[in-house]
Structure 1
Amino acid sequence: MSTHFIELCKLCEQLEKEASRNLKVNIVVDFLRKISSEEVKFAVYFITGKFPSNLLTLNVGYSTIYQIIKKLSNISDNQYLTEYNKTGDMGETAKKIFEIYPPKTQKTFFEQPSTLTEVYEIFQKIAEFTGESSRVKKQRLIESFLSKITPLEVKYFIKNLIGEMRHGFSEGLMEEAVAKAFNVELEKVRLASMVTGDLGKVCEFLKIFGKDGIEKISLTVFQPIKPMLADLAKNPAEALIRHGGKTSFEFKLDGVRIQIHKKNSNVKIFSRRLKEVTEAFPEIVEKIKHEIKADSFVVEGEIIPTTKNGKPLPFQYIMRRYGRVKNLEKTIKNIATTLYLFDLLYLDGEVLIGKPFYERRKKLEEIAPNQMLTPQLITSNPVEAEKFFEEAIKNGHEGLVAKQLESAYTPGIRGKKWLKIKKVLETLDLVILAAEYGHGYRHDWLSDYYLAAKNLEVKPIFEKDYVSFADYVEKIHNDRFKVVGKTFKGLTDEEIKTLTGKLKNLILEKHGRAVILKPKIVVEVAYSEIQKSPLYSCGYALRFARIVRIREDKTIDEIDTTEKVKEIFEKQFKTTTSNFLER
């Protein structure tokens, strides 16, 4: 018998109200045991709000859902914001609004409720829409479905669309529930989930085959697995100490991390999020087919953008290859790539993730040409390691990755077995020009900040010259400052609460959940690099910006300038040719 989506929604409501971790797990255990094997994986996806990215990539944003809610309920912006500001939860907001202002075509008493399978099929259709008109098609489909289901179903449909369940039942708890439901060791469930990248599939196997089903799950070609993650180390010497005095160092490249699967003549490339991106890199596919001496394998590596001379280019160049279907040949011609491999996870029928790193690397060296391998140094000498780090930086790379020689490959796990060591760029002192209220538990706090540098070349700005909110913010301040990025990272919750109180006293204008501020609060900002960007009028943007501290000792007269931002950008890529920098 099919399980109705409303049953799962009621279960999620229970989870939201239940404080006990053990009782939460037991509620889900009972649910997994009673539903069919055809639907159990859908239940795992819908309860956790996580879908394997190789199966579903939804790409539905807050603004799309916001417009749908307004259209179906026929309410104003102020009515929506009034309700949203109570919880900061878009799903709960939609539920409350639809209870008061139901869509005209909402489900009648005599209509059959939607099943888990039917709702998953809707999600599949949403994911299948791509291209220029995809947003409109997605919006129409979501509108149509939301108009036919109950307010409670609307709540959890939306929560799954945006991946914010907020009921306190994480993927880790779901692993516990799956293990308990089918009487399997938790560690086996976790390993199976890491290897498949799909906890729903693991649950389905156990439902069909019982506890012995866990043994049937293994690394399979064309089924991408979660990448192993690295912790941070301050320098090579620290990495040596943490790895017991001797370790493997490799260049840390600034490109896209990929997983390449090959079986006979078939090759597929997956991103670190497990999404297939084969079409974007046809030249890499050809290299793999002709230059690696094995029939069946799974390798990991990095694709970096390069000049014709092989020098690395900024990360943003390689991102132009993602999602480019139109003019792909032209894009390939303009943006050259170089492939570096650094790990081997599977080879001709043998799963290698449990083998030590040095063994996996040796086997990789046996099947791949030397020029395709990430430069490596195995040493116990901190001076040698530091020189290798400087060589990586000199060649335009990010730094090093230290890999413990005996380490197994642990999919999806971040730990000390791999350590990344990056060049630290000088921080910038910037002013907060605008801010937005957060979502979830941060919905009452101004927690997303527009960061700006001083502009020394002030020019008059006219109405026609601004198109984005950042442009408008700059206009309000007579172009004295230029926005160089946004961030919600770096500060503790207590610091955000305190800062919110200060910022509320500096508000000049309100725009929905965004506010424009008097330029007074100076913050020290760290970042991974500075990129060229069309998003901001200054032409630059901070990548992975985070606030280090609030500089109460500094005034806006002392903040860094756009010229300083430009100087740092140019220093980053001094190894690349100037004509690429000016593109």
Structure 2
Amino acid sequence: MDYNIVAQAYEDMEKTRKRLELLEILSGLFKNTSSKVIERVIYLTQGKIKPDFYGIELGMSDKLVIKVLEKSTSMSKNRIQEEYKKTGDLGEVTKIALSNKVQTTLVKDRLTVERVYSTFEDIANTTGHGSVDIKIAHLSGLLSDCTPLEGKYIIRTLTGILRLGIADYTVLDALAVTYTGDKKNRKYLERTYNISSDLGKVAKIVVEKGLEGLEEINIVVGNPIRPMLAERLSSSQEIIDKVGEKMSLEYKLDGERLQIHVNKKQVSIFSRKLENITNHYPDVSSIMSEINVENMIVEAEAVAINKEDGSYLPFQELMHRRRKHKIKEAVENYPISINLFDIIFFDNEDLTNSSYERRRKILNIIVKKNKKLDIVKNKIIRSAEEIDNFLEQSIEEGCEGLVIKDLQGTYRAGAREYLWIKLKREYKSEMSDTLDLVVIGAIYGKGKRVNRYGALLLAAYNKEEDMFRSFCKVGTGFSDEQLRIIYEKLQKCIIKDKHVMVDSKMEVDVWFKPNIVLEITGSEITISPIHTANMNEIRKDFGLALRFPIFTGRIREDKMAQDITTTMEIMNEYKKQLKKVIN
């Protein structure tokens, strides 16, 4: 398959902001893609060559790309840097450079998807002494045979800034439309994606075998499952009304969620974002490998603990383990407790359709046999008063709050449902919980914040429309050190114009690809003529916004942009506020 077909589709997608047009272009691309290359086209469209849990980094540094452009085109280094400063896009610079290139060869080799993908694999797998020169040679070979448009998207893919304005849900929609004829069938593809975390694999099966073939995909130990998520409610009585019968209350710990896979003593550990973080937790691997089991997948919360008294420490302490070097020292200096809270797979049995009650019993057996493991404290209750009392107990013991679980509830991979409900203690303000919002833009600071961002524009996620809608502008709650860290992280996300998946009426100095997630609290949710979250749902031409937003100090590095607070959750919170006023 000619790579030009893919590049042209990407170019068409970049030119539109209409969701239906994006879906149509993507469906058209898939129709022109054979089953032999559909996996590769899917991965390339995601801006990668394998699912995240493989841990393969495709990204090339800007410096290296500039070096290749200088070598492969007739454009000087100074001109390349000039154009880059002007456009902020090395892909666009590549297109300009190749357009002005003097032709030196009479015959060009055909540039296919297979060749581009294979070269990307070679670049990703090249390490060690002399690797820089080898990577330059690989990329130069592609650029010598590509058109300016192809070069633009080759470089954008390699630098991790594809800018297509689509997320996994849009790809699933397009696959459903293309290969089943009905967008409503996305739910079947999504379920398979949730247990495999491999969009390319889902695509290949639905192309070759249709919806029936999806039933052949089962849980594989070693391949992470998209985690089940909790809905939120703000009072014990609401929870009783929603769940009804007796339920389990679990402590909500302030740690990092781990998905631990054990297969014949071999241990793999994945983050909430499905990244392979086994190297960050050698102590966990050692303990889990001692368990006498054929295979299993458990979920746990790793919580940093004080070496002196064993008390819980804040989530941020765990970030010291997120380093490439001196892991041993980090493990010694920042010990953890391993708190199991669910089991998904055990001794070749898929437990996702088993009740929470049964899964918890299996966990208890595992923990009783292994004294180095803990199980998240829980209590079976029937009344609102018991919920309130256990909530206070959890706060006193250093926890964030509670997670309430339906005893008969199954494990719904990738779903956010009321089978799990999170409850935090009421704040003094009207807000009953913190919100996780993604940074979409920034305004430059003045005075002490000169050369930094003075305020950040944040958005909530509309899952149905696959869009990020502006919800507030935050400039308070940041320490100087936090401002520095966030500023550095955001430099990698800068884009020239507003992202195609972002809906905002506000103008900012800098736009970002939605990527960095911050935890925010505030006084209340109010209607807004400026912000676009829940636009027209309460009043025509008005959205909802967070009043007096404050950064809590927590960067949610464990969350992807699509995992943030949704506009549906914001609407639910707004309605709760109205009830309080009426009462």
TM-score range (shorter-chain normalised) is 0.5 to 0.7
Q: Is the partner of 1:317 in helix, strand or coil?
A: helix
* Alpha-carbon separation, structure 2, partners of 1:140 and 1:450: 46
Partner of 1:155: 152
Partner of 2:579: none
Partner of 2:4: 6
Partner of 2:247: 247
Q: TM-score, normalised by structure 2?
A: 0.67
Q: CA deviation at 1:269?
A: 1.6
Q: CA deviation at 1:11?
A: 2.2
Q: Are the structure 2 counterparts of residues 69 and 250 from structure 1 closer, same or farther at C-alpha, using a change threshold of 3 Å?
A: farther
Residue 394 (structure 1) aligned to one of 389, 393, 396: 396
Partner of 2:97: 98
Q: CA deviation at 1:318?
A: 2.1
Partner of 1:557: none
Q: CA deviation at 1:374?
A: 0.9
Q: Are the structure 2 counterparts of residues 414 and 158 from structure 1 closer, same or farther at C-alpha, using a change threshold of 3 Å?
A: farther
Q: Contact 2:38–2:203 at 8 Å: present in 1 too? A: yes
CA RMSD in angstroms, aligned pairs only? 4.6
* Alpha-carbon separation, structure 2, partners of 1:322 and 1:63: 24
Partner of 1:114: 111
- Gaps spanning 5+ residues in structure 1: where? 85-89, 455-469, 472-480, 502-522, 532-543, 545-583
Amino acid at match of 1:349: N
Q: TM-score, normalised by structure 1?
A: 0.67
Q: Are the structure 2 counterparts of residues 526 and 63 from structure 1 closer, same or farther at C-alpha, using a change threshold of 3 Å?
A: farther
* Alpha-carbon separation, structure 2, partners of 1:453 and 1:280: 27
Amino acid at match of 1:416: Y
Q: CA deviation at 1:189?
A: 1.4
Partner of 2:44: 46
Is residue 170 of structure 2 the alignment partner of residue 173 of structure 1? yes
Question: Where in structure 2 are the equivalents of 1:358-397 lying within 5 Å?
Answer: 358-369=357-368, 372-397=374-399
User: How many positions carry a matched residue from both structures?
Assistant: 469
* Alpha-carbon separation, structure 1, partners of 2:406 and 2:172: 28
Partner of 2:301: 302
Q: Contact 1:321–1:332 at 8 Å: present in 2 too? A: yes
Q: Deviations over 1:191-227 (max 9, x none)?
A: 1111100110112233444554222101111111111
Q: Is the partner of 2:215 in helix, strand or coil?
A: helix
* Alpha-carbon separation, structure 1, partners of 2:402 and 2:295: 29
* Alpha-carbon separation, structure 1, partners of 2:11 and 2:346: 46
Q: Are the structure 2 counterparts of residues 118 and 494 from structure 1 closer, same or farther at C-alpha, using a change threshold of 3 Å?
A: closer
Is residue 371 of structure 2 the alignment partner of residue 347 of structure 1? no
Q: Are the structure 2 counterparts of residues 16 and 281 from structure 1 closer, same or farther at C-alpha, using a change threshold of 3 Å?
A: closer
Q: Contact 2:364–2:375 at 8 Å: present in 1 too? A: yes
Amino acid at match of 1:526: I
* Alpha-carbon separation, structure 2, partners of 1:493 and 1:18: 13
Amino acid at match of 1:341: L
Q: CA deviation at 1:144?
A: 6.8
* Alpha-carbon separation, structure 1, partners of 2:167 and 2:484: 36
Partner of 1:199: 199
Q: CA deviation at 1:34?
A: 4.8
* Alpha-carbon separation, structure 2, partners of 1:67 and 1:524: 43
Q: Contact 1:340–1:373 at 8 Å: present in 2 too? A: yes
Q: Deviations over 1:12-51 (max 9, x none)?
A: 2344456776665555445445544332101112234365
Question: Where in structure 2 are the equivalents of 1:321-340 lying within 5 Å?
Answer: 321-324=321-324, 326-340=325-339
Q: CA deviation at 1:120?
A: 2.5
Q: Contact 1:352–1:360 at 8 Å: present in 2 too? A: yes
Amino acid at match of 1:300: E
Name the % identity. 26
Q: CA deviation at 1:346?
A: 1.2
Q: Contact 2:98–2:151 at 8 Å: present in 1 too? A: no
Partner of 1:261: 261
* Alpha-carbon separation, structure 2, partners of 1:384 and 1:107: 79
* Alpha-carbon separation, structure 1, partners of 2:55 and 2:423: 33
Q: Are the structure 2 counterparts of residues 41 and 386 from structure 1 closer, same or farther at C-alpha, using a change threshold of 3 Å?
A: same
* Alpha-carbon separation, structure 1, partners of 2:171 and 2:550: 36
Partner of 1:403: 405
Partner of 1:189: 189
Q: Deviations over 1:165-194 (max 9, x none)?
A: 444544223223333444384322111111
Q: Deviations over 1:132-161 (max 9, x none)?
A: 999998788657755653321233234434
* Alpha-carbon separation, structure 1, partners of 2:104 and 2:234: 58
Partner of 1:218: 218
- Gaps spanning 5+ residues in structure 2: where? 430-444, 460-466, 491-501, 511-546, 556-563, 565-583
